[in-house]
Amino acid sequence: MTGTETDPDNNLKKKLQALSLKFAATAGDRVAEIETAARRIIEAQEDGEISKALDETAFLAHRLAGSAASFGLPSLGGTAAALEKLLNSIKSSAAAISNEQSRLIKTIIGDLGKNLNKEKPPPPASATSTAATAKAETEAETEKQRLVFIIEDDKDLTGDLAAQLGHFGYGARVFTSTEGVIEALIKTPPAAVIANVALPEGDLAGIELLARIRDAIPLPPPAFAISSRDDLPARLAAVRAGARGYYSKPVDVARLSEALDTETEEEEAEPYRVLIVDDDESMAELYAVFLQSSGIATKTVNRPLDVMGPLAEYRPDLLLMDINMPDCSGIELASVIRQKEDYVRIPIVFLTSETDQDCRILAMRTGADDFLQKPVPPELLLSSVQSRIERSRFFDAMITRDSMTGLINHSKIKEILGVEISRASRQGAPLSFAMLDLDKFKSINDAYGHWAGDLVIKALALVLRQRLRKPDVVGRYGGEEFAVILPDTEPGSAAAVLDEIREGFSRIRHMVEGSSIQATFSCGVAGAEPGDSVEALTIKADEALYKAKQTDRNRVVLA
């Protein structure tokens, strides 16, 4: 593919680079500040002075513990956390500081300096980008962000957390103290609130703020706590304040984002779809009105021999079918439909004026799920239809969904791709298909274990669901490979959108055993052309993916 090299996420990359450099430049000052505060602990004579020095030093250590690990300095962060733990134990004992405790404080302070000198933050991952040939038609969709409030006094950490959440589709407003939070929340309600447990106002000031929000707002947004503390009292206080989750620093942003999605998404269930087959137009219309009044979408077919086209296009959840029809009875038609593998599981409900028991038995033998006697009370019709669709969708999800990611599986995405190819051909609409593959995935599994690989797979699934439009279809094609169907989208536009997602995903830090790793993916995009089959379009996308993998990876290639 030809094109000019571009960086669609250049501003974000520069921002993250600046944050990393800023933290690296100030880490020495932070350690020096802790050393000065710790010296006051050892030199203090009065109980009040000792207590004040302990509080100050513990707070500084707490702040460094969270931010250092988040910026890729796990040893420095771990040492700061050890210092905080020691100081808190001294505070709780209410006894004079012993010589042994003074020695331990000095030792840990020395370790801070050693770790600072030997540990450097990882450089931002390099990224190459293949230019898209057109501006993405879906740009507005992918840039929509849900607002979250972050209450955290560590400005470096909040900047990084906000940037990381941005990759998952969240915008952030940052507060460095509790002041003005409730007023801002009333004026501009966020989707969620994320508060650090300890703030300048106190060790539990963040949790106390969450409790005040819960009491002041009739329908408060979901709240989450973050902290360098991982003790039961802090977690219990968060639960009592109404927090939906508690995340230890360094925050695993993928897990936090998944929880945010669960708590904030108002996902509208796809309406049930019923295909009504009845030669009597007035009866078909009556059933349609009954069902539509309860939010069920319907399509009617009055000539039974014409049913196969609408069946393929409409993809109904259920067939509502009269038995006695000209040219072809409902029982015969059901037998024909059941011959096709795609429709073996679709529920079929028969309607008839027949009272003959033998007819009822024959209908059930052909695979009918229910047999309703005309005239059918609306309540009975609705109950029969809804219960069978609910059960069908439940079992269909078990069969067609990937258990790890919740995305549709290989066979289901090929089935939907076939439907979309037919629709695009019929309507003369564009259609794009993309295949994605995580780069050097085996290396991640070998270095960190399969659970780390699973973590990266789930994070990519989450990003794709968040950043793509509702009409787009995302599936796990197998292993570390994903597939995306983008209806009504030109290939160039699809490539532009997926390239932005690729760049953002490469910036995400995945927390593994106290440290962070980054991952990338390669992508091939193909557009459907007249006469393309599922196999032909898949091959084109796969060949483009292969080119991306062969040319440095971490890029999008257009077929």
> What pLDDT shows up at residue 327?
84
- pLDDT tens figures, 86-129: 888 888 775 677 787 888 888 888 888 887 777 665 554 443 33
Query: Tokens 């042994």 — which residue?
Result: 100
What letter does residue 98 receive in the DSSP assignment?
A: P
> What pLDDT shows up at residue 87?
86
> What pLDDT shows up at residue 121?
58
How many C-beta atoms lie closer than 10 Å to residue 90's C-beta? 23
- pLDDT tens figures, 149-180: 999 998 888 888 998 898 888 999 999 999 99
Superfamily of domain 10-118: HPT domain (1.20.120.160)
- At 130, the pLDDT band (50, 70, 90 cuts) reads very low
Highest mean pLDDT among 19-23, 290-294, 435-439, 492-496: 435-439
- pLDDT tens figures, 345-359: 889 998 877 666 777
| CATH 3.30.70.270 describes domain 410-558 | yes
**Of 127, 112, 115, 77, the residue nearest 251 (C-alpha):** 77
> What pLDDT shows up at residue 12?
41
Does 1 have pLDDT greater than 90? Answer: no
Distances in Å between the Cα of 130 and the Cα atoms of 50, 78, 125, 296, 495 are: 59, 39, 16, 44, 8
What letter does residue 525 receive in the DSSP assignment?
A: E
pLDDT, average across residues 393-413: 86
> What pLDDT shows up at residue 95?
64
CATH class of 273-400: alpha beta
In the chain, ranges of CATH 1.20.120.160 domains: 10-118
Angle in degrees, CA 404, 406, 407, rounded to 5? 110
- pLDDT tens figures, 440-481: 999 998 888 888 999 999 999 999 988 888 889 999 998 999
In the chain, ranges of CATH 3.40.50.2300 domains: 139-264, 273-400
- pLDDT tens figures, 528-551: 999 899 999 999 999 999 999 998
> What pLDDT shows up at residue 136?
37
Tell me the pLDDT of the chain averaged across its residues.
83
Say which range, 180-184, 400-404, 412-416, has the weakest mean pLDDT: 400-404
In the chain, ranges of CATH 3.30.70.270 domains: 410-558
Residue 14 token pair? 């520069």
What letter does residue 272 receive in the DSSP assignment?
A: P
pLDDT, average across residues 209-238: 92
How many C-beta atoms lie closer than 10 Å to residue 392's C-beta? 17
Sheet containing strand 473-478, strands side by side: 473-478, 481-487, 431-438, 521-527, 556-558
Residue 499 token pair? 């390239």
Q: Are 198 and 177 in contact (CB under 8 A)?
A: no
pLDDT, average across residues 4-11: 42
> What pLDDT shows up at residue 13?
52
> What pLDDT shows up at residue 124?
47
- pLDDT tens figures, 295-310: 899 999 999 899 888 8
> What pLDDT shows up at residue 318?
94
Domain 139-264 fold is: Rossmann fold (3.40.50)
Does 6 have pLDDT greater than 70? Answer: no
> What pLDDT shows up at residue 544?
93
User: Which residues, in sequence order, are CB contacts of 143 under 8 Å at separation 6+?
Assistant: none
For 102-138, give the DSSP string.
HHHHHHHHHHHHHHHHH--PPPPPP---BPPSS--TT
- pLDDT tens figures, 32-52: 898 898 888 888 767 678 888
User: Which residues, in sequence order, are CB contacts of 523 under 8 Å at separation 6+?
Assistant: 434, 435, 436, 437, 495, 498, 499, 502, 544, 545, 548, 555, 556, 557
- At 20, the pLDDT band (50, 70, 90 cuts) reads low
- pLDDT tens figures, 58-92: 888 877 876 776 666 777 878 888 888 888 888 87
Q: Are 154 and 518 in contact (CB under 8 A)?
A: no
Say which range, 31-40, 65-74, 312-321, 390-399, has the weakest mean pLDDT: 65-74
> What pLDDT shows up at residue 141?
38
Three-class DSSP category at 513: coil
Widest CA span of the chain, in angstroms? Answer: 103
How many C-beta atoms lie closer than 10 Å to residue 56's C-beta? 18
